[in-house]
Structure 1
Amino acid sequence: MSALMELVRAGRTVEVVGLLDGMTDAERRSCFPELKALRKELRAAPWEADARRAYPALHAAGAACQTGAAGVAAWIAAADLRWSRVSPGVLLHVLGDRETDWLADVTHRLARRPVTASVPYELMAGLVRLSGCPVPTTDAYVRGWVDHLHGSWQRGGTLLDRLRQDPHLRELVAALFETDDIGSRLQWPTQEGPDSWTGALAQLTVEGALDRGATVDACVARLLRGGPAADQRVFLRLLKCLALTPDEERQRTADWLALASDAASTVASHAQSVLGALALDGGLAPRQVAEMSEAVLFRTERKLVRAQLVLLGKVLTRDASTAGELLPAVARAFGHEDAEVQERALKLAERHVRKLDSVQARTDLALAAEQLIPLLRARAVGALGAAPADPEPTGHEELLPPPPRPARLAPAAASAVELAEEVGAALAAEPGVTGFERALDGLVRHAYRDREALLSALEPVVARRWWDSAAGVVSDDRFGGSYGAVSEAADGLDLVLATLRGKVRTATLHARVQRGSASRDCVHGALFRAFECRLWEVAYRMRTDPLPLLLSTPTWSTGLLEPAELVDRLDTYRRLGARVAATDFAQALLRVRRADRDAAESAARRAAALGTAEGTRLAAWLASGPPALPTFRRRTSGRRVLVELGEVLDLQHDFPAEFRPLGRPTSVFEERRWCYHWDDDMRQHWSALLPERRELVAARLLRDLSDLAVDDFRGAAAALPSLAESGGEAGEAVHLGVAYGLGARHAEDRLAAVDALLVLAARGHLDAARLGADLGQLVRRGAVKTQRLADAARTAAVTGANATIWSVLSRTLPILLADLATGGTAAPARGLGELLAVAAECAERSGARGELPHLAQAAARRGSSRLATQARRLRSALGEEVAA
């Protein structure tokens, strides 16, 4: 036994295997307890040289010295052994003398492990050969099989050749159709030919190695199931490669109808083309064509809807008797959001309405025409007998979502155990302002009351942190180094926890409090330094002179602190004789509510009566009135429009040095400096630094927000709802930030900007004229793409905010239409027709009236382009006369 353990510790795997070969089962079992103990010992320092050397030999020995199939499978797939495991060949050697039933049990247990366990396919396949058991068809095994075939290219031959030689081809291909999220793997190394999965599987079906009926059914079933876009692309490509015969297509009519109704756009398009061919060949009954049309015409994809209207026109032209069933389906398109689709449907109805021989059918068609936009409804009055629209629209009721109400922070956790649970949750995921501030305040309070009880409760939480496994204190380059330690909120909690555990030197803490931030300055530098310096001083005071509580913990989730609550906290400090932390008090001043003058003046009188320096300072601060908007000027930088702020004098005096940059002028040149503040979640904490001065935050985030539209970055728009919910005047920077968000590349960023716009509007803080003008300028400069703006505007409008969106677009469109009016040579912005469609829809629903500069010239353009037709529609909605 001692010889085996010495060889394992030395990492001499070959000799370990040789020794195991000469041992009986009983001797092997007797070695396992020591192997288990060694594994536990190595787990404490898994990346040390001794551990990395011993792990492969330990992996092999532990698998060989157990008798239970479950224990062996768990040992082989263990997470702590995964990164230094022994090769599959060695494991097959040490397990090869076991009974086949036992090996089969191990095989299937390993195959049932999650894909993240990374059990080698070569090991599972080898165990299948040794045991003769049925091949597993789990996700882990199938994915391993696919990756193994990809990695076999060095042996020569195509993927088709390698698949032909596989003894389990049918079982594994059948499992392929049941494996989720496999499409990305099947697109490699190529998408066509014998070395592609689709080409190889289609050829194997032709050759008879795979059953054709089963393969087609599995492929269609997979498309019906839906899933990631990559899966849909691969299995649709395979279905096309199989080249179904008309009989095979006719047998699956119900499947094509379901796919045309609900599948992804590309799959629905294929199903639509199959059904269209069947319909024109007489393979579909009129009832089935109507059923298909009612589903497809309900979809939002204009390409599918137009193709369906074309198909309906062909069927109606070939067989007039189908009008009674198909024209009601055409009428479904009268309510489509796209006016062009409505016009196509109306033309189709006008062409074939005479074929209706039922009075009721004509009446139903006329009633459906009431969904048409006003311009088309006027046509339907004569063509379909629809009732004329009211001469004046009824009053419009704007439906803005109610602004979110700030959440009040609950008191700090009463017990250390409860606090430990909150801290663990905050470290596991981004805690937000509420979670972070409550956890920080709780740590300060409990460290002051009973440090030992707190440390005991935190033991399960800190035992998993990277800094707690280090021997001794953490070096200065990890906490307090040149790049700073607090790049995200969880880092701040780590710093406080590491200080509690004695993992940070007092000298390091003191140096950072005295020296300030070690980070390089950039446009975010002022926000970052103010956020970080409080954490360093809190950690330092926790080591040297614990604080009883934090003065700066906000009352509300936006970061606002009620003035009466701050006075109460200062009174607690006075009674306890505690010394206030300068940065904590500075942060409290920036958060305290001053806009509510009655509450501020009442609290000022109480603060002055405390008789402390901080009470006097708070009284003067509250009496000074709500913060004013700083001076600003707009600057251009390439395609961008940015904002520079002037000096804010009240942030320059009587504040710690790390807070004064918040009041210094900003410059667009700062934004070019190297910056590592890439964490999107930190921006909500920056908003909470200055909850009544959002312009100071927005101006420093404007470069990030412009990157969303100009450079197609992702994520920064998450700060916009926080800014909209914050306090202070919404000025140039906030509105420009929303404008960039509305033109962002990624849909989730545009959605965040829409949320911010609606919140501003609901709170009465939206300057629609300013935002509309900003959008027009940004589109003209090429910073914002019109198509993206149209998508965002439509998203906002469907919530019911039609008048709000119209008030914005009515200032944007004249800027974009100006070149058309003056005969400029520049082509209209791409997507301008789509933006006009959104504006027309909003104008129709809100009852907007009046003239829009340069719209008449756009409406007078010849042809039926989307720009011209939507300009005419908008002009009609606004009550202007439109030339026929």
Structure 2
Amino acid sequence: MTATVAAAGAAAAAAATAATATATATGTDTAGLLVEAVRAGRTAEVVSLLDGMTDTERRACFPELKALRQELRTERWSAESRRAHPALHAAGAACQTGAAAVANWLAAVDLRWSQASPAVLLHVLGDRDARWLADVVARLAQRPATSNVSYELMAGLVRLSGCPVPTTEAYVQGWLLHIGGGRQRGGTLRDRLRRDPHLAEMVAALFRTEGVGARLGWLSGDGPDGWTSALAELTAEGALDRRTLVDACVARLLRGGAPTELRVFLRLLQALSLTLDEERRRTADWTALASDAVPAVASHAQSVLGVLALAGELPPRLLAEVTEAVLFRTEKKLVRAQLVLLGKVLARDGATATVLLPAAAQAFGHEDSDVQDRALKLVERHLGKVTAPEVRKELAQAAEQLVPALRSRAVRTLGAAPADARPVAHEEVLPAVPERVRLAPAPATAVEVAEEVSALLASGGDVSGFERALDGLVRHAHRDREALLEALEPVVARRWWAEREQRPGHPSDDFFARRHELFDAARALDLLLATLYGKVRTDTLHRVVRDGVPNSGCVHNSLARPFEARVWEVAHRLRTDPLPFLLATPTWGTGLLEPGELVDRLDAYRRTGVRVAAIDFGQALLRVCRGDRTAAVAAAERAAALGTGEGERLARLLTGERTAPVTTRRTADARILVELGEVPELGAEEFPAALRLLGRPASPSVDRWYCSHWSDAIRQHWLALLPERPELVAARLLRDVSQVAVDDQRGAAAAVLPHLADADGEAGESVHLCLAYGLGARHAEDRLAAVDALLMLAARGRLEPDRLGADLGQLVRRGAVKPARLADAMRTAAATGARATVWAVLRQVLPVLLADLATGGATTPSARGLGELLTVAAECAERTGAQGKLPHLSGVADRRGTSRLVTQARRLREALATAPAAA
């Protein structure tokens, strides 16, 4: 760095001579020369001019530099800006006297990506007072690490000022990159660390700074020149204090965090190779880590405690406390390791049985029956070493938590009380069916409309919020357009289309004219707002309404185009013939519209002479409730009495029969998809072209390499197109939902399944297939959404367990759904109390998988994780009292061995042959 500064100084001196001569010859003022040199990007000349100025002259130049910065800010990425910014960065810092102002200038966002070099900045600032420089570096170091403040600059200021080294996040992260980054060329990492004068302070700061662990692992990995090896070797050499480093490692692990953050500190602790004495002094820390830390850290702590216990350095009472904490954890590997450790200690010292066996018996209540079995075997093996009657009684009482098969054994070996022979009726627990949520009336004032639109643009919202905002915009644009525009002004001020520069010869609605797709609700609202503010031309609106939204070419086309066409129609009417209100605004949050309410709206249109918007009315017909036949017939009579064409169409719809499409199953790769046949009543010519797409045949197997409908948030609005016919939407979204299981994607199930479960129509083949894919999803949030949908469909009486089980069996066979993931979802559903529902599904799944196992062996896709499914099934059968034979179950149960698959098959067979146990 010193050589660089010297070179910069030499270049600056040479440029100073030329600049001075120019100033003398031309008589130009120094401020003008400085700004001219900055604009031209001549940094060396700028430095030379600054060197020849007094503080007063520098301050006098600053207003012009500030004005230049404002000028360049409008075209931040232009060639002129990129050329001038490094010189401006240096000049602006040098021409200010306040430490806070200089720090703000140096870290400014608009100058961040075209900064002056640290050598130049240190040169122009180096003549300041040391305390002033210390103030600047302290302010820079307090900036977020994302501010991109140069570490070389901060380190140089520390060196010039002689101040203590900062240990903020920005400084520590910069130090890490400087010392460990690939730009360094000067020996190994260990050599560079050894030469650092602030090594002890910076290493101590590593353990206090969030995000350092992941960065350390990314910088150098686990190689011989990695951070863990370097720090361990420096500690062995005495360059770092060993006890301080060990304490810092343990404290950082105790503080917790993400596994990626803690991994490097764990490796460092292991590299330090603690002695038995060092480990014994930190027994309390290992106990806390084994109880609460992330699995990798807890496993290490557990192994340390095991070494201490086997060396006689851990009192039995403390080992029992650790055991009770570890057995409470969900990680089965830790639980099994703890039971193994107890077995070794008990074999070494039988006198500890009185204390350790009751702790081991805590595993009798574990959710995994294999863990219960291990714990029971451990207790049975060492029970003879217990002489105290009260301990034996405690063990017998704990055995009441065992699953029935193990409890029967405990009756013989531990003297546990036998289970009540009287059958206990199972009470199925399903969630309460929520009441329908009626949409609140449209916002009463323009200000309320603006507030709701602003909230939707910020967070997306739901169907109810979007439909209320849409209706509110329409109503207030018709009632008082000027008041609405005034209220919306703060909302639209920073929208992207309001800030677009209008190019010469191009309309301001260039984007909307070229791209008609409305990818989400926010884009739809943007179109309406831009229309209200005159940013969309009338001929663009007319052309889209006349010609329709272009075919997207993807499987979502028949869902996206109806939604988009209605919004474009509303925008066109806002410009040409504002409506007093919309016909299709739903009554309920699912999108359902009460027929009587639609008749009232049509009557209001008739009385005031309003021209009906075709797509809006068509959408209202698709949403109108036909499930309540009494209300539908009454509304049909009123609609026919209106004497209008729209009233007659509504009356025919309400009294007509609903036709179901012919469905055909198709397989694609591992997927099972559903193709829809034509729905004549929706494809009738009286519907607008965009809405007729919903009645056309549809195949979700149609795929396209590019699809713009990536937002999961739009799915709920598509489901609200046909609130009483979820099958027609589910079939079109089936490929999307399948991706959460087949392709390990995230979010589609969580976006679709809750709305399918809340829909008012019947759940058919497509809905059940969507649910099946969701139950086998890769990500937990999708599986939880599927579990919620499963329980809600069951509570509504719309779940067909046999259909769902058969679908799941086929999907597992094809490899689309992994048994372990399905087991996790079904275990979660059973834990809510819906064990009978879960068993009704699994009794259809298991025979398919067990048959495959019998013919294909352990190589079938269904083999791995089948033991987990059998565990859930056995638990449900035991609790619900299910009885009977399950095809192919005995073939697995009769196998030799004690694998999870075999033991759980035996457990399920025994449960199906006996009466239910008490829950």
TM-score bracket, shorter-length normalisation: over 0.9
* Residues 267 and 406 of structure 1: CA distance in aligned 2, closer, same or farther (over 3 Å): farther
Q: Is the 8 A contact 2:737 2:749 kept in 1?
A: yes
Q: 2:262 is matched with which residue: 205, 217, 232?
A: 232
TM-aligned CA deviation for residue 326 of structure 1: 0.8
Q: TM-score, normalization: structure 1? A: 0.95
1:568 deviates by 3.3
Alpha-carbon distance, 1:869 to partner: 0.3
**CA offsets, 1:346-370, max 9 Å, x none?**
1111112222222221111111100
Aligned residues: 879
Is the Cα contact below 8 Å between 1:635 and 1:668 reproduced in 2?
no
Query: Out of 246, 259, 281, which is 2:311 matched to?
Result: 281
Residue of structure 1 equivalent to 2:803: 770
Match of 1:173 among 189, 203, 206: 203
Equivalent pair of 1:551/1:584 in contact (CA under 8 Å): yes
Post-superposition shift, 1:659? 1.3
The aligned residue for residue 447 of structure 2 is 417
What is the Cα deviation at residue 70 of structure 1?
Answer: 2.1
Contact 2:659–2:680 (CA under 8 A) maintained in structure 1:
no
Aligned to 1:577: 609
> Is 2:757 aligned against 1:727?
no
Q: For residue 466 of structure 2, what is the aligned residue in structure 1?
A: 436
Quote the residue 2:834 is aligned against: 801
- 1:333: how far off? 0.3
> What amino acid maps onto 1:109 in structure 2?
R
Q: Is the 8 A contact 2:659 2:681 kept in 1?
A: no
Name the counterpart of 1:681: 713
In 2, Cα distance between equivalents of 1:614 and 1:864 = 71
SS in 2 for 1:633: strand
Q: Which residue of 1 aligns with 2:892?
A: 858
Q: Which residue is equivalent to 2:496?
A: 466
Q: CA distance change for structure 1 residues 423 and 668 in 2, over 3 Å: closer, same or farther?
A: closer
- What's the offset of the Cα at 1:125? 2.1
Match of 2:785 among 752, 771, 792: 752
- Superposed, 1:88-127 pairs within 5 Å as 88-127=118-157
Amino acid at match of 1:769: D
SS of corresponding position for 1:658: helix
Residues 1:636 and 2:659 are matched in the alignment: no
Match for 2:58: what amino acid? R
* Distance change (3 Å), C-alpha of 1:77 and 1:153: closer
Displacement, 1:8? 4.5
Matched, 1:541 2:570: no
Q: State the partner residue of 1:552.
A: 584
Whether the 8 Å contact between 1:671 and 1:703 is mirrored in structure 2 is: no
Q: Distance in 2 between matches of 1:2 and 1:586?
A: 69
1:717 alignment partner, one of 740, 749, 760 = 749
* CA–CA distance in structure 1, aligned partners of residues 182 and 198 of structure 2: 17
Question: Unmatched 5+ residue regions in structure 1?
Answer: none
| Contact residue 820 and residue 854 of structure 1 kept, 8 A | no
1:694 to 715, 726, 731: 726
- Deviation per CA, 1:755-774: give whole Å up to 9, x if none: 21111112111111011111
- Equivalent of 2:594, from 562, 565, 578? 562
The question of 1:384 aligning with 2:414 is answered yes
How far apart are the structure 2 equivalents of 1:361 and 1:270? 31
Q: Does 1:306 align with 2:340?
A: no
Q: Is the 8 A contact 1:160 1:195 kept in 2?
A: yes
1:227 Cα deviation after fit: 0.6
1:779 is matched with: 812
Partner of 2:907: 873
Letter matched to residue 145 of structure 2: V
- Alignment correspondent of 1:455: 485
1:488 aligns with 2:488: no
Deviations 1:9-52 (A, max 9, x none): 55554444444443333343344445445545554554455555
Determine the C-alpha separation between the residues in 2 that align with 1:386 and 1:689: 60
Q: Match of 1:130?
A: 160
Q: Which amino acid aligns with 2:897?
A: G
Q: Which moved further from structure 2: 328-337 or 124-133? A: 124-133
Deviation for aligned residue 1:272: 0.6
Deviation at 1:264, TM superposition (A): 0.9
Is the 1:181–1:228 Cα contact (8 Å) retained in structure 2? no
Give the residue type in structure 1 aligned to 2:812: V
Kept in 1: contact 2:94–2:125 (CA 8 A):
yes
Which amino acid in 1 is paired with 2:831? V
Q: How far 1:880 moved relative to its partner?
A: 6.0
Change in 2 beyond 3 A, CA 1:85/1:608: farther
Q: Residue 742 of structure 1 is aligned with which of 769, 775, 789?
A: 775
Larger radius of gyration: 2
Shift in Å, 1:677: 1.8
TM-score (normalizing by structure 2): 0.91
Secondary structure at the counterpart of residue 681 of structure 2 = helix
| Distance change (3 Å), C-alpha of 1:214 and 1:510 | same
Q: Which moves more between the two structures, 668-677 or 743-752?
A: 668-677
Q: Does 1:249 align with 2:279?
A: yes
Distance 1:289 1:428, change over 3 A: same
Structure 2 residue corresponding to 1:846, chosen from 876, 880, 883: 880
Structure 1 distance, partners of 2:530, 2:87, is 35
Residues 411 and 133 of structure 1: CA distance in aligned 2, closer, same or farther (over 3 Å)? farther
Q: Distance in 2 between matches of 1:767 and 1:611?
A: 44
Separation in 1, partners of 2:85, 2:547: 45
- Separation (CA, whole Å) in 2 of partners of 1:83 and 1:605: 70
Whether the aligned pair in 2 keeps the contact of 1:709 and 1:740 (CA below 8 Å) is: yes
Matching of residue 651 in structure 1 with residue 685 in structure 2: no
Residues 402 and 876 from structure 1, CA distance in 2 versus in 1: closer, same or farther, beyond 3 angstroms? same
Q: Distance in 2 between matches of 1:11 and 1:602?
A: 80
Q: Deviation per CA, 1:147-179, whole angstroms, max 9, x where unpaired?
A: 223434452422222222222221121111112
Deviations 1:429-470 (A, max 9, x none): 322323322332222223223333333333332222222222
In structure 1, C-alpha distance between the alignment counterparts of 2:605 and 2:94, rounded to whole Å: 65
Q: Distance in 2 between matches of 1:825 and 1:313?
A: 31
Q: Find 2:651's aligned residue among 619, 627, 645.
A: 619
Is the CA contact 1:635–1:643 (under 8 Å) kept in the aligned structure 2?
Answer: yes
Amino acid at match of 1:574: R
**Residue identity opposite 2:673 in structure 1:** L
Q: Deviations over 1:85-104 (max 9, x none)?
A: 44444433333332222222
8 Å Cα contact 2:530-2:536 kept in structure 1 = yes
Correspondence for 2:846 among 806, 813, 820: 813
SS for the counterpart of 2:674 is strand
Q: Which residue of 2 aligns with 1:196?
A: 226
Q: Which residue of 537, 540, 543 maps to 1:505?
A: 537
* More off after superposition, 120-129 vs 689-698: 120-129
Identity %: 69
What's the offset of the Cα at 1:257? 0.5
Using the alignment, how far apart are the partners of 1:48 and 1:598 within structure 2? 69
RMSD between aligned alpha carbons? 2.3
8 Å contact from structure 1 (residues 381, 388) kept in 2? yes
Whole-angstrom distance in 1 between the partners of 2:253 and 2:541: 59
Aligned pair in 2 of structure 1 residues 724, 543: CA closer, same or farther (>3 Å)? same
CA offsets 1:693-725 (integer angstroms, 9 cap, x no match): 111111111111222212222221121111111
AA in 2 matched with 1:612: T
Query: Offset of 1:312 from its aligned partner?
Result: 0.9
> What letter corresponds to residue 244 of structure 2 in structure 1?
A
State the one-letter code of the partner of 1:117: S
Q: Which moved more, 1:221-230 or 1:568-577?
A: 568-577
Which of 391, 397, 403 is the equivalent residue of 1:367?
A: 397
Distance change in 2, residues 1:797/1:535 (3 Å): same
Find the residue that maps to 2:549 and give its secondary structure: coil
One-letter amino acid matched to 1:145 = W
Q: Which residue of 2 aligns with 1:604?
A: 636
